[in-house]
Amino acid sequence: MTSPREWRNRLILLSMTVLLMLFAMEIGCRMLRGTWFLTHWPNLVLLEAVAHHKPCMFVQDQTLGYVPEAACTSPEHSHSDKGLRAMPPAPADAAAGPPVLVTGDSYAYSDEVMDDETWPAYLQLMIHRRIENGGVPGYGLDQSVLRTEQLATQLKPGLIILAFIADDLQRAEMRRLFGGEKPYFTATDGKLELHNSPVPNRPVTFERLPFWQRWFGWSMLVDKFMRHFGHYADWFWQDAEGSPAGTGEALACPLMQRVANLRIPTLIVAQYRPHLWQYDKKWADEQRRLSQAVLRCAQSAGLQTYDSYKLVDDAIKAQGMQSIYGNWHHNAAGNHLVAEGISGELNRLKMFP
């Protein structure tokens, strides 16, 4: 019969074995991430929040929550003195007159590629019109519309192209997103009411981290687990709803009407994350349904629309996912393809002055 002392010793041995295994896995994860992390053990949750505001990324803004830092250059991207994604010079034969304004989220900004590989940069060459890229990574549809209104006043564009993904509707429900405060709307009888504006500046600090993030945020093993199993946003950002989940769709029509009220020819473009071809069909169908809902609202408001799904789907079927996508966004070839689709639609609709 096993004595209590033997049980205790076995439990101690088992616990030490588990701890050693976890430590070995932690070291392995750090080696995969980079040797720097073998000698530096920062709180990764806090590091991720700070990275969102690292040089040449974003600065706090009372109207929009955050905007790209103006007049800066990094190895991945550059911003103009207006706080817009840097664009190559317009073609020498570009038509004179007001610019084309592009707004939206990271797909409009064209994350993961160089400045001359964004779809607005390719589109500028195709349509021979000067383009200003006002896209901002991480924006909800609400922020995209507010920024469109702001830039339309500043730049006086002759044409607006506002791009979105279905997830932008969920982002529009949030008052705190990606570690920072943001404005948000609620809709009553189709009328919008703006909240959390001016946007308070409440940066993420170690003291503000919840208990679990403070104690386990240093672990690369926990970091990898959260990323791999889809808990990235919950673990890193501590997002907070401003309005109940699912209400973002009700904002689409009044937001599109705000764009229409600018009285500037506008094309609303639906873009898609690579996850639509990676996740289950039910989820993908819901994403497409939400995108179609936004496009219908735009059409009801008198705006022109373009759905890039078939263009991208055909390319994936013919050449595979890696031919047009990087990690989360289009690669250079994918952006060129999207630019061709938008260019063709602009010409078909005769939207140029």
Among candidate residues 88, 102, 119, the one with its CA nearest the CA of residue 331: 119
Q: What are the residue ranges spanned by the domains of the chain? A: 1-37, 49-205+239-348
Tell me, what amino acid is at 238? Answer: Q
Is the confidence at residue 314, as pLDDT, over 80? yes
Is the confidence at residue 234, as pLDDT, over 90? no
Note the pLDDT of residue 232. 62
- CA–CA dist 259, 342 (Å, integer): 19
User: What whole-number percentage of the chain has pLDDT above 90?
Assistant: 63
The answer regarding whether domain 49-205+239-348 maps to CATH 3.40.50.1110 reads yes
Note the pLDDT of residue 255. 98
Is the confidence at residue 165, as pLDDT, over 90? yes
Q: Is 223 helix (H, G, I), strand (E, B) or coil?
A: helix
Note the pLDDT of residue 22. 87
Note the pLDDT of residue 30. 87
Mean pLDDT of 26-43: 84
Contact 114, 333 (CB under 8 A): no
Is the confidence at residue 137, as pLDDT, over 90? yes
343 φ, ψ (degrees, to nearest 5): -60, -45
Note the pLDDT of residue 37. 82
Q: Which of 38-47, 162-171, 322-331 has the lowest mean pLDDT?
A: 38-47
Confidence of residue 202 (pLDDT cuts 50, 70, 90): confident
Q: Cβ neighbours of residue 319 under 8 Å, at least 6 residues apart?
A: none
Q: Which of 48-57, 61-70, 135-144, 146-155 has the lowest mean pLDDT?
A: 48-57
Tokens in use for 214? Answer: 């403070």
Q: Which of 243-247, 260-264, 334-338 has the lowest mean pLDDT?
A: 243-247
pLDDT, one tens digit per residue, over 106-118 is: 999 999 999 999 9
Contact 144, 208 (CB under 8 A): no
Is the confidence at residue 52, as pLDDT, over 60? no
Confidence of residue 31 (pLDDT cuts 50, 70, 90): confident
Confidence of residue 215 (pLDDT cuts 50, 70, 90): confident
**Number of CB atoms found within 10 A of residue 171's CB:** 23
